[in-house]
């Protein structure tokens, strides 16, 4: 004899087991966008750059944190790699030469599991050798915020122990 209610319950259970585990998440906030040393030359550039870093950080958390984990990151300081120069046709171009224009990011973070605080702190991310270490990542330094994303990936991997966090910079 076939019990339709038991069959339905069994189907729901099997469907639930087939769903992938929900990944962790990250939220990047910035208390004062205009106080950052170098987040971009215009308000639009600053907002776009912070949004890109926030999206990238959320991707790292999605790959490296548990299902009920949430990483809250407050951006305290940002100094992008390179310096802005006026290029041909009067267009601004970010020039990366190394020397004293390496990327720096200062963050305050809290890692939560549900409502429980797992860890919190403040870190300064800096890479004075950012042009020399670029090749070890096999990445394309022409991608937007390449050096800053790479630093965030390294920080995420070392701070939260996710082995896959720094494998690629997109």
Are the C-beta atoms of 163 and 157 separated by less than 8 Å? yes
List, for residues 126-161, the tens digit of each pLDDT value: 887 776 655 544 455 557 888 899 899 999 999 997
List, for residues 35-94, the tens digit of each pLDDT value: 898 888 889 989 999 999 999 999 999 988 998 999 999 999 999 986 655 556 655 554
CA 133, CA 151: separation in Å to the nearest integer? 11
Residue 105 bridge partners (DSSP): 78, 125
Residue 98 or 16, more confident = 98
3 state SS of 111: strand
What is the residue-averaged pLDDT of the chain? 77
Closest CA to 151 of 62, 137, 51: 137
């Amino acid at each position: 004899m076939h019990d339709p209610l038991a069959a339905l319950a069994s189907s729901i259970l099997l469907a639930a087991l087939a769903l992938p585990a929900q990944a962790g998440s990250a939220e990047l906030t910035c208390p004062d966008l205009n106080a950052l040393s170098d987040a971009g030359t215009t308000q639009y550039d600053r907002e776009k750059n912070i949004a890109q870093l926030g999206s990238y950080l959320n991707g790292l958390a999605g790959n490296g944190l548990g299902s009920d984990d949430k990483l809250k990151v407050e951006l305290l300081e940002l100094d992008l790699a390179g310096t802005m120069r006026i290029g041909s046709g009067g267009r601004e171009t970010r020039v990366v030469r190394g020397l004293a224009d390496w990327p720096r990011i200062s963050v305050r973070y809290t890692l939560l599991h549900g409502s429980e605080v797992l860890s919190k702190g403040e870190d300064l991310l800096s890479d004075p050798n950012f042009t020399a270490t670029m090749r070890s990542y096999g990445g394309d330094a022409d991608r937007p915020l390449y050096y800053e994303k790479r630093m965030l990936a390294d920080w995420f991997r070392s701070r939260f122990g996710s082995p896959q966090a720094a494998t690629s910079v997109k």
